[in-house]
Structure 1
Amino acid sequence: MGVSVTLSPVEHVIALDVGGTGMKAALVAADGTLLHQARRATGRERGPDAVVEDILGFAAELAAHGADRFGTPAAAAGVAVPGIVDEERGVAAYAANLGWRDVPLRDLLGERLGIPVALGHDVRTGGLAEGRIGAGRGADRFFFVPLGTGIAGAIGIDGRVEAGAHGFAGEIGHIVVRPGGTPCPCGQRGCLERFASAAAVSQAWAAACGDPDADAADCAKAVESGDARAVKVWQEAVDALADGLVTALTLLDPRMLIIGGGLAEAGQTLFAPLREAVERRVTFQKLPAVVPAALGDTAGCLGAGLLAWDLIDSPTTPRR
């Protein structure tokens, strides 16, 4: 005779991390456990309206899956998007790589799902996760800097991430570190991300080695093998990054600098010279710990989940 087992409902939230090429999603428990994960292409080639509809449909699929699998509907949802984000109004204001402007994403998701929704900036959301449950756990002040196609930053203060008065806080990639240098799409010349992002290193190494398909990972491997051309390209990027980081730590006085993104995957090939370069530039400032990010590409989803749980825990919404 079969035995019937009744499982207790599992509280969870929906988390979405929307990127230029792909979307990562998860159902997240209150303790940060990823109960279910899924991915799909963003499909930006079909235009911004199609991307928004895909986000709504993906979230609805997750909601249905969670209710069926865990016996209770999701309590809230969090979504992280790139570009300029008005978190207070819940509006995705602008994203060059997705082509949208002034999308009321929080309201659209709320209407589709029927639950509270939080909207966040992708880097700040990843920084929130790194600060609370990742490399910065326990640090009251940290600065999270992912080195990817571009460079941005997240300023962590007492368990939250600072957005700034206009949503631009932490944009370290547009600190000018080489005045009069390479033009940047932002309109300035010599911005940090034109020298120290993964894209910038890839471009510089491709030019130096003569292989148009070479990238930053190839440069790191060449550095490890002692290639003098690679060492020069890499050190120039490290020096630019150290200049930007010391400017940031002078202003912010963090206890910890958390470095993530594609370049951080080089490990000590990056961190050994970077720590040395930062220490060499520090005078009166307190030297923070310079550490690798811990959560990898799950940081965005985990951070979106934290935003969702924060909605439930806020004074204006019922506590979970």
Structure 2
Amino acid sequence: MGDRATLFPVKHVIALDVGGTGMKAALVRADGTLLHEDRRATGRERGPEAVVAGILDFADELRVLGERRFGEPALAAGVGVPGVIDEARGVAVFAANLGWRDVPLRALLSARLAGVPVALGHDVRTGGLAEGRIGAGQGTDRFLYLALGTGIAGAIGVGGRIDPGAHGSAGEIGHVVVRPGGPPCGCGQSGCLERLASASAVGQSWATACGDPSADAAACARAVEAGDPRARAVWAEAVAALADGLVTGITLLDPRMLIIGGGLAEAGDTLFTPLRAAVSERITFQHLPDIVPAALGDTAGCLGAGLLAWDLLSTEVSA
């Protein structure tokens, strides 16, 4: 598709998915179609002010591109960012990996985008929204979504929406303590789930076990598949910790489905076969939910941010 405007205007929103190292952006139709995608570095090494400036610049570039290519301005924008989010005020309260505190991101973006309404959400919860509504959980009334990446975070889906909790931190299952007295976590506790079963934790354990400092979780999964006993021990420990954390989530939330995404989920059956067995072994009175891989890959965050924007528009219309 070229840069010329289409014959008929195309209604769309701007969507941004901001991570610790990279940003993904898209122009999204109401049905979830990605009209345009782009990526660039977050630039956190330049400091939090530069990160915010980069987000605003990226969004504005998409605004201009959308007007030129699709014949009308974006109707709204949605952005998902990591850390603690006050969705009601539109403030990015804190993100350790981006170094910012109390950034009024919604107001800054709306001003930069000529006053269009902006929805702000948590990056994992926006991904969970997309997976629940148009991805692996489509049609499921109650689910728990987990992203197993550098850390572990979750999203609680109920009736097609994500519950942020009373204070914007619902779903932080990565900080459930599954091994009391275990490895210290950046949150101040020890033995948190993400310190044992995230992709980064598995990578660190495998690097120690195999003596290769550059080894990561994907390398561990390949070694498991090749029958390496050291890799199988590392993997089994991570799966056991993950199963313990999931049973806690199942007990509290009674989800119909567990949707698992992130880098570790890319191991496929190497992860899901033993994980389903481990969770099943631990269940007593609880109902065992379906445990399925996420379906949208790394586009989930952008799609979810787009859905936030469209939801914001529908809310304003009905208000």
- TM norm structure 2: 0.97
Q: Distance in 2 between matches of 1:297 and 1:121?
A: 15
How many Å apart are 1:218 and its aligned residue?
0.5
Amino acid at match of 2:317: P
How many Å apart are 1:7 and its aligned residue?
1.2
Q: Distance in 1 between matches of 2:317 and 2:265?
A: 40
Q: What is the correspondence of 1:274-285 to structure 2 with a 5 Å cutoff?
A: 274-285=275-286
Instruction: Tell me which residue corresponds to 1:182.
Output: 183
How many Å apart are 1:139 and its aligned residue?
0.4
Instruction: Tell me which residue corresponds to 2:235.
Output: 234
Structure 1 portions without partners, runs of 5+: none
Instruction: Tell me which residue corresponds to 1:199.
Output: 200
SS at match of 1:152: strand
Say if 2:245 is the partner of 1:249: no
Instruction: Tell me which residue corresponds to 2:132.
Output: 131
How many Å apart are 1:54 and its aligned residue?
1.0
Q: After superposition, what is the alpha-carbon deviation per residue over 1:172-202, rounded to whole angstroms, capped at 9, x for unaligned?
A: 0010100111111111111100100001000
How many Å apart are 1:168 and its aligned residue?
1.1
Q: Distance in 2 between matches of 1:272 and 1:248?
A: 19
Q: Distance in 2 between matches of 1:59 and 1:23?
A: 11
Q: Distance in 2 between matches of 1:30 and 1:147?
A: 28
Q: Distance in 1 between matches of 2:111 and 2:129?
A: 26
Q: Distance in 2 between matches of 1:72 and 1:272?
A: 48
Q: What is the correspondence of 1:291-310 to structure 2 with a 5 Å cutoff?
A: 291-310=292-311
Structure 2 portions without partners, runs of 5+: none
Q: Distance in 2 between matches of 1:67 and 1:87?
A: 27
Aligned-residue CA RMSD (Å): 1.0
Q: Distance in 1 between matches of 2:300 and 2:60?
A: 22
Q: Distance in 1 between matches of 2:216 and 2:182?
A: 22
Q: After superposition, what is the alpha-carbon deviation per residue over 1:151-189, rounded to whole angstroms, capped at 9, x for unaligned?
A: 010000000001111111000001010011111111111
Q: After superposition, what is the alpha-carbon deviation per residue over 1:73-107, rounded to whole angstroms, capped at 9, x for unaligned?
A: 00000000001110110000001111100000000
Aligned length: 313
Say if 2:100 is the partner of 1:73: no
SS at match of 1:36: strand
- TM norm structure 1: 0.97
How many Å apart are 1:6 and its aligned residue?
7.2
SS at match of 2:203: helix
Instruction: Tell me which residue corresponds to 1:221.
Output: 222
Q: What is the correspondence of 1:85-100 to structure 2 with a 5 Å cutoff?
A: 85-100=85-100
Instruction: Tell me which residue corresponds to 2:264.
Output: 263
CA contact (8 A) 2:6 2:71 kept: no
Instruction: Tell me which residue corresponds to 1:148.
Output: 149
Instruction: Tell me which residue corresponds to 1:63.
Output: 63
Amino acid at match of 1:318: V
Q: Distance in 2 between matches of 1:136 and 1:44?
A: 33
